[in-house]
Amino acid sequence: MIVCVCKGLNEREIWRAIATGAVTVMELGRCCGAGTDCGACRRELALMLGERFRADSGSAADPIFRDAALA
């Protein structure tokens, strides 16, 4: 499924960026460009980051969502 239409990024590419260390929406933008054009995908990016951290630690960490307000 395409997550960021503007950059043509699918879920696999976003998960890869998260796996390499991106922990915020802004870091995803710097890493792969997701969320840097129209911003419509920023909420989905934040949700994906939250899923990663819930799976790792049992709860969503606040820093993940700090820049999601840009959406």
User: From CA 37, how far away is CA 42, in angstroms rounded?
Assistant: 10
Distance of alpha carbon 49 from alpha carbon 24, whole angstroms = 7
Q: What is the pLDDT of residue 55?
A: 56
| Domain 2-70 CATH class label | mainly alpha
- Is the pLDDT higher at 54 or at 63? 54
| Domain boundaries along the sequence of the chain | 2-70
Interval 28-49: pLDDT, tens? 999 999 999 999 999 999 999 9
The residues, ordered by sequence, that sit 6+ positions from 11 with a Cβ below 8 Å of its Cβ are 1, 3, 48
- Is pTM beyond 0.85? Reply is no
